[in-house]
Chain A
Amino acid sequence: MAEISRTSRFTLDNGLRVVLAPDPTAPVVGVAVHYDVGFRSEPEGRTGFAHLFEHLMFQGSESLEKLAHFKIVQSSGGTFNGSTHPDYTDYYEVLPSAALERALFLEADRMRAPKLTRENLANQIDVVKEEIRLNVLNRPYGGFPWILLPPVLYQTFPNAHNGYGDFTDLEQASLDDCAAFFDTFYSPANAVLTVAGDFEPDRARELIGKHFGDVPHRPAPPKRSFAEPPPSGEIRGTHTDPHAPLPALAIGYRMPDPVGELDGYLAHLVLAGVLSDGDGSRLQQRLVHREPLVTDIGAGAGLFGPFEARDPDTFSITAIHSPDVPADRVLTAVDEELERVAATPPDARELAKVTARWSASLHAEHDRLMSRTLSLGAFELLYGDPSLVNRLPERMAAVTAEDVAAAAKALRPDSRAVLLVEPEGGAK
């Protein structure tokens, strides 16, 4: 990852943080803007607003009519998208390197003056509702576990609510809500611009100054804490799924602060690998192969993956199982395996397996320009250090067997959420 280690950073006068990561191995360039606002920041009564607003940012700006953004990126040979996370929203393009200035222009124009109109708001509310029907309402296990688990594990609105949003909330979103949201959260001082791939750093600096330099400064909103105490017992919730043919369950635990206690967080990541990565992992071996209790089982940090949220973050174990197997049998087996990791820590080879796969998967992720660009931006935003990405394999490799045992011990049955998904038809 020689290219990533050449990463440089600077900040414009208006507060926009910039990350540059040149890499000439392919004639393509990635551009991303991360705004420091996600669905945890949306107000009560406006569930789904951060994601709805992400859609609106593609609908035109002062210099660009509706649809022009898509056309300019694609007619330059590029691809684009955006996504909303608990603590940030990202926008990105990957294009032939000839289109670098265009991509910077597009991101600057919508950061400076997006065109927020009633018509576009109404249209995108319809589109988002179709997205929710497609991904949640009309699909088995839709929203499992990322929408369904948080309301069981968390008590406060920011952490517990549905990030896709309720239809009634979405329909009530007003143009004035949009204006307030933009002015509060979409200031350059609350954003990170990342450029990665085939470009000359000096030329890129010049172009960034030209396009983003006159976006007026507005102060970043004060950082909010979303902290809340962990559950003081086991909390259970049930969801009836009209499409699912088999029962499923998700166990949610709280985990160390991803930013403030990174090593503890990484120990949980290694634990997730020990538990469920590959046929030789502990939960796969026992629950899938040795005494088949479940069809599939997985463990992981973060409901969309690791390193995409601040504290509090969720460690989850999910399984789909036969109706003949009671959920409590699965839970008991999981608890026993966690106790076993706590009591007899993984040996050196078990750890080496997890860290070698991690190292390879990080290389693979960074070989895809889009993933690399997004990852650098997210690490600048959450950690203030994009090059931390570069050092993750060695930080992972430094996690000891005792650290993993301690992580397993911390996943306690008396401080967790259990979500049970029941097929509507009941046991068939």
Chain B
Amino acid sequence: MTTAGHRSAEEIGRTATGPRPVPELGGQTAAANLSHVDTVLSNGLRLLAVRKATVPLVELRLRIPFGGGEPLHAATAEVLAETILTGTARRDRVAIDTELALIGGELSTVVDPERLTIAGNALASGLPTLLDVLADALTAASYVDDEVGRESGRLVERLAVSRTQPRVIAREALLTHVYGDHPATREVPQAADVERVTPEAVRALHAASVLPRGSVLVVVGDIDPERIVGDVERALSGWASDRDAIGMPGLPEVAGGDVLLVPRAGAVQSQIRLIAQSLPRTDPRYAALQLANLTYGGYFSSRLVENIREDKGYTYSAHSGFEFTGPTATVGVDADTANEVTAAALLETRYELGRLGVVPPTADEVESVRQYAIGSLLTATSSQAGLASQLAALTAAGLGEEWLAEHPARLAEVTVDDVARAALEFFAPARFTGVVVGDAQILAPQLTALGGFVVGEPGK
């Protein structure tokens, strides 16, 4: 790389005129008010429709509460999610894909211990077709034996791949360590269970659980929200039941405690996952806690990232963030680190937790996270897909467009003292527990010396 005549690094880094001041911010316009309708249809389905006509598309998110306590529930639900769009009385798999493709559309399904989500989009002109295909799957999915058998087989292979992902292994270990055998821990079903799922069981689960009452449909895009109520009502009129969709049982509170070192022999990197009880968005202290979390590890300029990435180079990414489950919430901290620096990274991670409470965020830090929270909300909701996903997440807590529109004002009112109080209470190191997944032979001597660590398999 020797280019003749290039300057030295030092010469490159300075100019004759010297450093310049950072420009002030200009005037900011607010986001436009979005016309919307938030209503409950006659079949009990909540419909939230929002007009955002930036491009001639429409985005759709249907969330159906999908809890279940039977031993095979997670596996059956996963097979159902893989096969609900593979055929109905009127359409086979290829016909569904063809009709969707011709309107530039797609539908996809994902299930977790709390809910079944069907997400989709299409050219706005294709919305009637999109709703028709959706209604068809909801009311007449056929789960023919061949499709169920083949998708179960693929699923078993995918699960094998999934369980070799360090983040999946760490996630499962964390949930089991914290929640024992609560259904929430079954995000990824066991391959052996999937092999036992029958087409009859999938059809039975659909009949018992794919229900409109208690579910939410979010539609965002180049649409008229008032007019769409009737369209959706008509399209989904055949989807009816007098029963409510089934939610997941509430999660127990997370109590602080030892961190479990889960052995993964030969791993070149460790997964650090800590967790503590937190506050839901409906709590009046949530906005302050949101700012406390951003200061700790919720954005790149946070104390945690500056410490363990930018100062010490221990990790590529470190992050803290909320997870909302039913009416409750937790806050999690995660980082992946090389073996030789795992213990040091943990020491700094805990140090920053303690420091957040006792050396609370300064006015500058609070101003920075406040602007970030407001600005990133603007950015995240400036696209149809971003807005649809954001709204769908809010509906789980019974919130809607109004909450989103009012949140910047809520963030603006938080005081530095509010943030300090939230930091001291909710980020206290003693409130946290968690797991480290890694090569125990290398990690155990240092981690056990730090204290607060035990070695073992989760749930045992």
Contact = CB atoms under 8 A, between A and B. Distances in A.
Interface of A: 1, 25-28, 43, 46, 49, 61-64, 66-67, 70-72, 74-80, 94-102, 105, 109, 112-117, 122-131, 133-134, 137-141, 175-184, 198, 214, 242-246, 277-281, 285, 288-289, 292, 295-296, 320, 322, 349, 352-354, 356-361, 363-364, 366-370
Given A27-B378, A67-B310, A363-B55, A102 B22 contact: yes
A224 B337 CA distance: 39
Nearest to B310: A67
Which 7 residue pairs are nearest across A and B when measured between Cβ atoms?
A: A77-B375, A360-B104, A126-B313, A75-B368, A353-B101, A26-B382, A98-B28
Given A26-B31, A180-B1, A75 B57 contact: no
B3 A183 contact: yes
Contacts of B100: 278
Interface in B10-35: 11-15, 17-32
A139 B162 CA distance: 10
A246 B94 contact: no
17 contacts: A72-B22, A74-B301, A76-B371, A95-B375, A96-B379, A98-B27, A99-B26, A101-B24, A117-B13, A130-B338, A133-B269, A134-B316, A245-B160, A322-B157, A353-B98, A356-B123, A364-B385
A348 to B, nearest CB: 11
Contacts of B55: 1, 363-364, 366-367
Contacts of B13: 61-62, 113-117
A100 B24 CA distance: 10
Given A96-B28, A295-B158, A62 B316 contact: no
B192 interface: no
A112 B371 contact: no
Contact of A180 (B6, B57, B104, B165): B6
Contact of B29 (A133, A198, A242, A354): A198
B132 interface: no
A322 B161 CA distance: 11
Given A133-B338, A292-B150, A368 B161 contact: no
A67 B301 contact: yes
Contacts of A122: 313
B104 A359 contact: yes
Interface in B269-323: 269, 299-301, 306, 309-317
A280 B106 CA distance: 12
Contact of B378 (A72, A96, A368): A96
Given A138-B268, A369-B379, A75 B372 contact: yes
Given A27-B28, A101-B26, A245 B153 contact: no
A281 to B, nearest CB: 8
A66 B310 contact: yes
A179 B14 CA distance: 13
Contacts of A280: 93-94, 97-98, 101
Contacts of B150: 289, 292
Contacts of B30: 27
A105 B23 contact: yes
A277 B12 CA distance: 48
A146 B269 CA distance: 22
B327 interface: no
Contact of A26 (B3, B15, B27, B378): B378
Interface in B48-101: 54-57, 86, 93-94, 96-98, 100-101
B269 A138 contact: yes
Nearest to B95: A280
Contact of A130 (B96, B306, B316): B316
Contacts of A112: 15
A369 B157 CA distance: 37
A292 B154 CA distance: 9
Nearest to B2: A180
A120 to B, nearest CB: 9
B316 A100 contact: no
Contacts of B338: 129-130, 133
A86 to B, nearest CB: 18
Given A62-B18, A182-B6, 20 more contacts: A43-B1, A67-B306, A71-B301, A75-B372, A95-B375, A109-B20, A123-B312, A125-B313, A126-B314, A134-B316, A139-B165, A140-B161, A180-B6, A244-B161, A245-B160, A277-B101, A278-B106, A353-B101, A356-B123, A359-B123
Interface of B: 1-3, 6-9, 11-15, 17-32, 54-57, 86, 93-94, 96-98, 100-106, 121-123, 150, 153-154, 157-158, 160-161, 163-166, 266-269, 299-301, 306, 309-317, 336-338, 367-369, 371-372, 374-376, 378-379, 382-386
Contacts of A125: 313
A46 B1 contact: yes
A364 B121 contact: yes
B14 A62 contact: yes
A95 B380 CA distance: 11
A370 B118 CA distance: 26
Contacts of B301: 67, 70-71, 74-75
A137 B339 CA distance: 13
Contacts of A360: 57, 103-105, 121-123
Contacts of B1: 43, 46, 49, 176-177, 180-181
B318 to A, nearest CB: 10
Contacts of B317: 134
Nearest to B15: A113
A279 B22 contact: no
A138 B29 contact: no
B368 A184 contact: no
Contacts of B11: 179
Nearest to A61: B13
Contacts of B386: 368
Nearest to A370: B379
B93 A183 contact: no
Contacts of B310: 66-67, 123
Contact of B97 (A27, A123, A184, A279): A279
Determine which residue in B2, B299, B310 has the highest number of CB atoms from chain A within 10 A of its CB, and name it: B310
Nearest to B271: A138
Contacts of B103: 356, 360
Given A123-B310, A280-B94, A367-B383, A77 B376 contact: yes
A285 B94 CA distance: 8
A362 to B, nearest CB: 9
A48 to B, nearest CB: 13
A347 to B, nearest CB: 11
A58 B34 CA distance: 36
Given A360-B105, A368-B386, A27 B29 contact: yes
B405 to A, nearest CB: 14
Contacts of A363: 55-57, 104, 123
B6 to A, nearest CB: 4
Which of A75, A101, A140, A353 has the largest count of B CB atoms less than 10 A from its CB?
A75
A179 B337 CA distance: 30
A127 B316 contact: yes
A175 B105 contact: no
Contacts of B96: 279
A223 to B, nearest CB: 16
Nearest to A273: B101
A141 B314 CA distance: 24
A301 B277 CA distance: 46
B313 A123 contact: yes
Nearest to B221: A367
A76 B12 contact: no
A358 B104 CA distance: 7
Contacts of B160: 245-246
